[in-house]
Structure 1
Amino acid sequence: MQEEQPVRFPTARLSLAMGIIGTVGAFATEAGLDPITTVFWRCVFATTFLGLWCGMRGCLAGRTLLPAHIFLAAIGGVCMVLSWTAFFAGFAMTSIATTTIVYHIQPFFVVLIGITVFKERITLDQIFWMVGAFVGVTLASGLFLSPQPVTSTWALGIALTIGAAFLYAVATILARRLGQQRPEITALCQTVVGVILLVPFADLNQSVPLASWAWLAGIGVLHTGVAYVLMYSAFPQLSTPVIGVLTFIYPLVAIIVDWAFYDHPLGAGQALGMALISAGTLGVRLGWRVSFSKAAPARS
């Protein structure tokens, strides 16, 4: 396979991808199906798109297409599909904005798994930013400092969203161990696994309105196909700080969509929680330093 040339406009590509993904909650809501069936059709449409894309790009004949990598990608696919299902369930139980914000705790689960499973080192700076981010989650969840009474359904939705973030973190760690396998191939493995895993549980006998098919196709082609291709093509061309900042286009778009179309504005506590999660995520990703030592006395 020939070495690919650097893509043009990587910043615009990643920005567009994040903007597209930020609308996934609206697409899932408008589709009007249960989370399992929605994710099943997401995987069907995404598999079709990614299969055609990988075939046209010559990815399916690559030297990095190893059975061990495919197997590991499939295990990650189980985690990813379950993550998507729990994530979509969170939309229905809470709100698009709340679910999306809480879901962004996933980078910290990656760090925690690295510490507990792989014995990776952690610094005081990282602990500081992580604690701040988890405080942000409690505020963004709406379980505290909320003017509205918290229902058991809302609390369950938050729990499912946190579980979705954890599963996404596991899939991320597994993906890091795939060597030089093309990300598009990894995503294709995940969606194929999704079709196989969910077909016994999806409600395929229900009558799906024509409009719902358009929303479902959008989730598969736009949010899982086009957006992933844009992201994966942009990542190698961008620095970590740029990626870290642009990633927050995703929750920002979700917040705007939830407010503009579903009349779900963020409360003050949730906005503060979002700010803490954002600061914590950037602090960990960008290696922001925090001084914990006392200032030295001034010389006379």
Structure 2
Amino acid sequence: MTNASRFPALNLAVAMAIAGTVGAFVTEAGIDPITTVFWRCLFGSLFLGAWCLVRGYLPDNSLSWSRLGRATLCGVCMVLSWTAFFAGFAKTSIAVMTIVYHIQPFFVVLIGVLFLKERITIDQVAWMGAAFLGVVLASGLVVSDNPVTTTWMIGIAMALGGAFLYAVVTILAKGLGEQRPEITVLCQTAVGVIMLAPAANFSGHISLNSWGWLIGIGVLHTGIAYVMMFSSYPRLTTPVIGVLTFIYPVVAIIIDWAVYNHPIGIAQSMGMVLIAIATLGVRLGWRLPVRRTGTALAGQK
């Protein structure tokens, strides 16, 4: 983590690779989603709290009541997003859930247009259309080797719901100004501990192996990976970040295929490629060739 300033791209790539294993950790833990997210938040809070204290980020004098309220609302949405995401693994597959969950940038655009009155371009509309076509293909609802069940459809709905909630977190986080992201995530995980404590199952037996996976989810995926990401983002360009982000779903797909014998079909692969291209198109502001040609013709007239 200390080499982020020297090798930020490598730092982010490793962080995304770690994040891509979260589905396997959740599956191997074998605990219900709510309890899993509770322990994720608890162990994540312990790690991030210690990290912020050691780095001198706490106490944070800039954390006003308004920022704390916004960070708390972020925490509620993030915890619900994680819960929906984890619950969907057992209903579909790690690969499909991860692919569909990555539709979140387009929900950010939609929220901006519908509620924040932001402008949207024809190019963005086209990329969004391509992305949602990708979701249809990746989900297996149209072309699939296996019959689509109600359980599978519920899993897809959970992925979309989790992605939407994550998009809300992204929008809310923009109002936190210069607050350190580690502090923001610490607020979110602390909210998760309080929010899920009444619903978590503390009476069920948790094996020693399961404890290892749960600690990994909290420390690796919520602590170390987040710190590595945040330390890398300021030192990288948007195109590099956009490309490296897709290490996450690629790792998840490989693990789902190699460990759990869940290969994705041709249609699902095409769906993932569509989502990836469309996401890069929106993030990098790609303009469609058709539009440029049309504009040129209009100018000649």
Tell whether the structures are fold-level matches, with TM greater than 0.5. yes
Equivalent residue, structure 2, for 1:201: 199
Equivalent residue, structure 2, for 1:266: 264
Q: Distance in 2 between matches of 1:8 and 1:182?
A: 20
2:127 equivalent to 1:129: yes
Letter in 2 for 1:184: E
Following superposition, the deviation at residue 296 of structure 1 comes to 3.9
Equivalent residue, structure 2, for 1:75: 73
Following superposition, the deviation at residue 6 of structure 1 comes to 7.7
> After superposition, what is the alpha-carbon deviation per residue over 1:138-165, rounded to whole angstroms, capped at 9, x for unaligned?
1101111111101111100000110000
2:35 equivalent to 1:37: yes
Following superposition, the deviation at residue 44 of structure 1 comes to 0.7
Equivalent residue, structure 1, for 2:7: 9
Q: Distance in 2 between matches of 1:15 and 1:65?
A: 31
Does the residue aligned with 1:162 lie in a helix, a strand or coil? Answer: helix
Q: TM-score, length-normalised on structure 1?
A: 0.96
List aligned pairs for 1:283-298, cutoff 5 A: 283-290=281-288, 291-292=290-291, 293-294=293-294, 296=297
| Higher mean displacement: 84-93 or 59-68 | 59-68
List aligned pairs for 1:1-300, cutoff 5 A: 7-290=5-288, 291-292=290-291, 293-294=293-294, 296=297
Identity over the aligned pairs, expressed in percent?
Answer: 64
> After superposition, what is the alpha-carbon deviation per residue over 1:220-249, rounded to whole angstroms, capped at 9, x for unaligned?
000000000000000000000000000000
Does the residue aligned with 1:176 lie in a helix, a strand or coil? Answer: helix
Q: Distance in 1 between matches of 2:274 and 2:4?
A: 35
Q: Distance in 2 between matches of 1:144 and 1:192?
A: 40
Q: Distance in 2 between matches of 1:62 and 1:236?
A: 20
How many aligned positions are there? Answer: 295
Q: Distance in 2 between matches of 1:208 and 1:68?
A: 39
Q: Distance in 1 between matches of 2:269 and 2:279?
A: 15
Q: TM-score, length-normalised on structure 2?
A: 0.95
Q: Distance in 2 between matches of 1:21 and 1:167?
A: 18
Following superposition, the deviation at residue 9 of structure 1 comes to 0.9
Q: Distance in 2 between matches of 1:16 and 1:66?
A: 34
Letter in 2 for 1:55: L
> After superposition, what is the alpha-carbon deviation per residue over 1:76-108, rounded to whole angstroms, capped at 9, x for unaligned?
000000000000011111000000000000000
CA RMSD of aligned residues (A): 1.6
In the alignment, structure 2 segments of 5+ residues that lack a partner are: none
